[in-house]
Structure 1
Amino acid sequence: MLAPLNNVVGSITRFALGSAFGRVLTIPLFFAAAYFVVALFIYYRGTYDPPTTQQIQFEEITTPLSAHTIFTEQPEVRSGLLVIDGVHRNDFSQNEIVSLLSSMANRGITVDIMGEPSIFGGFQGVNASERFAMLESKLRQAGSLAVIAPTEPYTQAERGLVRRFVEKGGRLLLIGDPTRGRRINTLSEEFGLSFQPGFLYNQVENDLNHRNIFVRDFFPDPVTEGLADVAFYTAGAIRSAGPALAYTDGNTFSTIVEGVEPFYPLAKANQENVLAVGDLTFMVPPQNSILDNNRLIANIAEFLASSDRGFELSDFPYFFDGAADIVLGRSSLLELGAGLRRTLSEFQIDAEVRNSESPGNDLIFLGLYDDAVLVERYLGFAGIQVGETIRTPFAPDMDPQGGAIISLQVHDGRHILIVLADDLDDLANAADRLDSGKFRDVIVSDSIGIVVFPNAGKNDK
């Protein structure tokens, strides 16, 4: 290192003694050389010697805590429909819920996602009146409903539709996400559930990030069956008037909600058929395969597929499940029976006109009041009497002339629909109302509709 330094000093000396100009620059050059020498000795640390590479044996390598797992199941296959809300500008994509969709398909459940995806992500908006009509129509046929991260509020009328659906036994899944739309409470609070603002985090134990939390404490429930460890990646807390299903440890906190008690990212309402989840990301691939996440998804799918909702007359024709027999009170009604069969076939309902009902099949009976004796026992179950007057449990007695009744009842697991009228014209009118949906205008109870045609207006039917 000194040889190059001597060369530099020698060069400066020769330059200084060689000319007058050189002598003028001698002093600045010597100062620069001195600075260089001092800096060289202060900052120079020699050459870099890399450390010895450690040899790690294969058997010493351990996988991270959030290892991917393989989950398989053989669920019971059944029929049913899951409707997923996408008409409230819901902030999710179909790709994010593909694991849930796959689990529902494994159970034979059809999935109908309402709304149109937006090119910017999520779903497009729909005006309130169209939303209500769409939701009302879909819930008539659904066994379960899933609402995920809506960014537009539910109206009072829409909340009423969903509440009525739940009261009939329909299953409701509510999924919130603290980083997405906060309008889910406009529906969840109808059932005593509140999704809290802010996300949960744990700085002591997490999956590479403080907001990727582990949940290991669960309350006994079919939804938590078989769970040991679940990873949530953007979870929020839920407050519920019903039972909590999972709770966090003492090192997990909320960014907004203060408290030292455990937080609940999974809960049910007071109604057993309403489930709330405070995170969507746990089911988004590849996070769905972390720890027991896929098992939780399967349990949620089983919750949705196990709906035992009841149907009302207004839900026609979706209460027919499997084969249905169309039985006529007399041969002159054959054309009406064939027309009703065509109507049902549009809804993929297998109906056949038969001379008599088959055990186990649903039944549709078309006849005149004089044919009521053929279904007298079913009318008796419904509290309907046909004679000189028509007597029903939910309306004043009516004159048989110029009218029709439509009755639905469930007997031994079968749906029995009976349509009776004074004459062929009135019966055809009642059948047309079933076809067009106008029968809903004359429903007087959950199971009975009464059509009255004044004699003066018969020519206008």
Structure 2
Amino acid sequence: MSQRNLLGGTVVFAVALGLILVGAAVAPYAFQLGGSAPADTENAAKQAFDADELVATPGPESGDVTMDSNAEPKTVLIDVGHENDVSESDMQPLVDALVANGHQVKYLTREDAQRDFNGSLRGADAFVVVNPEQPYTGDQLAGLRSFEDAGGRVALLGDPQSAGTTSVLGLITVSVSSGTTGGDAGLTSDYGVSFGSSSLYNMHDYYLNYENVYATPEGETALTEGVDEVVFRDAAPLSVSADSVSPALVSGGETRVESIRKTGPYTVAAQSETVVAIGDADFLAPESAYEADNEVLVGNLADFLVSGDKEAGAPASATPESGGEPGSAPGQGTAPTPA
């Protein structure tokens, strides 16, 4: 290429660059003299720089799960025998805290549940149910009620997106949000707690994304001692209808239910003397257990599970004459008479 052509190309490039720089410098003054910024530019700027929009402030992710209880060694039985949508690793912070404080953790397998459900409960002081997807039999439900009546501690944790949670837990203590009940309605009325089937979300105050809602203590319960604020990643609302059950954790006032978009504070955890119900299970997982005050909540749950005083020998074994099958809870017949 000739030197003349090279110089010509350089001049053209320099002129173009100069026009670009002049345009960039003049544009702000043009807007000030009566022009207006494009709507998309204004919206982007507002989203990027409006401090009122920056509400997703992560809480601290540190701490240890500790227990305050000095209870004698107890046995906590965790149900994994009803196709529960939870893995053992999902509950590791809770399990580690219990074991570190001298308590024993066992898992109810499917074989155990089918062979001798009552026998498994009889050897435990607390029973933890998380997201079951296989229904409990009527005999198993009767055995669980006898276990709780004898002072055994029961923790029920359910995620709203688990279809099995609303239907199976409905057999134990709850009804789905539509008002229908499953199984024995007497068990529902006994505890007076119902789980909603839709997720909560909050577009105004949340942790990392709007589906991670904050919850704060409501009243004074052992479950929330030392808790200022917790994070639930997929929470279901609870309804409390019995005087014996107290709301324990409530979401913020701008929280909505996904299915109906209704705004309000919602109960997400409740407690009675022997039963805890929590509309979330993810807070137990290692990746969530140390967000905000979640580790305090996990420790309080561990304390609750071992602070009961269950009567020995409950629930009693059933016999064919009692209306149930061997190894199951008593049915509608007469309870067996001790020899």
User: Normalized against structure 2, the TM-score is what?
Assistant: 0.69
Q: Give the 5 Å matches for 1:150-189.
A: 150-180=132-162, 181-182=164-165, 183-189=168-174
Distance 1:4 1:134 in 2: 92
- C-alpha distance in structure 2 between counterparts of 1:313 and 1:281, whole Å: 31
For residues 305-350 of structure 1, the C-alpha deviation after alignment (integer angstroms, 9 at most, x for no partner) is 012111248759xxxxxxxxxxxxxxxxxxxxxxxxxxxxxxxxxx
Q: CA RMSD in A?
A: 3.3
The runs of at least 4 consecutive aligned structure 1 residues that moved more than 4 Å come to: 2-7, 313-316
SS in 1 for 2:173: helix
Question: Residues 261 and 228 of structure 1: is their aligned pair in 2 closer, same or farther, counting only changes over 3 Å?
Answer: same
Matched letter for residue 297 of structure 1: V
Give the residue type in structure 1 aligned to 2:92. Answer: V
Matched, 1:243 2:246: yes
3-state SS of 2:156 partner: strand
Residue aligning to 1:201: 201
Distance 1:6 1:73 in 2: 77
The corresponding residue for 1:266 is 269
Using the alignment, how far apart are the partners of 1:71 and 1:307 within structure 2? 24
- Residue 278 (structure 2) pairs with residue 283 (structure 1): no
Say which of 91, 98, 102 aligns to 1:104.
98
C-alpha distance in structure 2 between counterparts of 1:231 and 1:72, whole Å: 15
Q: What does residue 405 of structure 1 align with?
A: none
Q: Percent identity?
A: 25
Partner of 1:457: none
- In the aligned structure 1, how far is the partner of 2:94 from the partner of 2:107? 13
Q: Report 1 or 2 for greater relative contact order, CA contacts < 8 Å, sequence distance ≥ 6.
A: 2
Mapping of residues 419-434 of structure 1, within 5 Å: none
Instruction: Provide closer, same or farther for how the CA distance between residues 168 and 239 of structure 1 changes in structure 2, counting only shifts above 3 A.
Output: same
In structure 1, what residue type is equivalent to 2:237? A
* Whole-angstrom distance in 2 between the partners of 1:202 and 1:247: 13
Q: Report how many aligned residue pairs link the two structures.
A: 265
Corresponding residue for 1:140? Answer: 122
Task: Give unmatched runs, 5+ long, in structure 1.
Answer: 8-36, 50-62, 116-124, 317-436, 451-461
**Equivalent position SS for 2:270:** strand
Q: Does 1:221 pair with 2:214?
A: no
Query: After the TM superposition, which residues 394-413 of structure 1 pair with which residues of structure 2 at under 5 Å, given as runs?
Result: none
What is aligned with 1:256?
A: 259
Q: Quick check: 2:216–2:229 contact (8 Å CA) kept in 1?
A: yes
Q: Identify the residue that residue 48 of structure 2 maps to in structure 1.
A: none
1:312 and 1:196 mapped to 2: Cα distance? Answer: 35
Partner residue, 2:73: 79
Post-superposition Cα deviations, 1:47-84, rounded to whole Å, max 9, x if no partner, equal xx9xxxxxxxxxxxxx9541113236463152121111
CA contact under 8 A between 2:131 and 2:158: conserved in structure 1?
Answer: yes
Match in the other structure for 1:351:
none
For 1:88 and 1:313, how far apart are their aligned partners in 2? Answer: 21
User: Quick one: distance in 1 between partners of 2:256 and 2:202?
Assistant: 6
C-alpha contact 1:77 1:106 (8 A) present in aligned 2: no
Q: How far is 1:131 from its partner?
A: 2.9
The aligned residue for residue 29 of structure 1 is none
Residues 122 and 314 of structure 2 are in contact (CA less than 8 Å); yes or no, is this contact kept in structure 1?
no
Rg larger for = 1
**DSSP 3-state at the match of 1:212:** strand
Question: How far off its partner does 1:215 sit?
Answer: 1.3
CA 260–64 in structure 1, closer or farther in 2 if over 3 Å, else same:
closer
Displacement of 1:186 in angstroms is 2.2
2:87 and 2:223 map into 1 onto residues whose CA distance is 24
SS at match of 1:96: helix
Is the 2:65–2:93 contact (alpha carbons within 8 Å) kept by the matching residues of 1? Answer: no
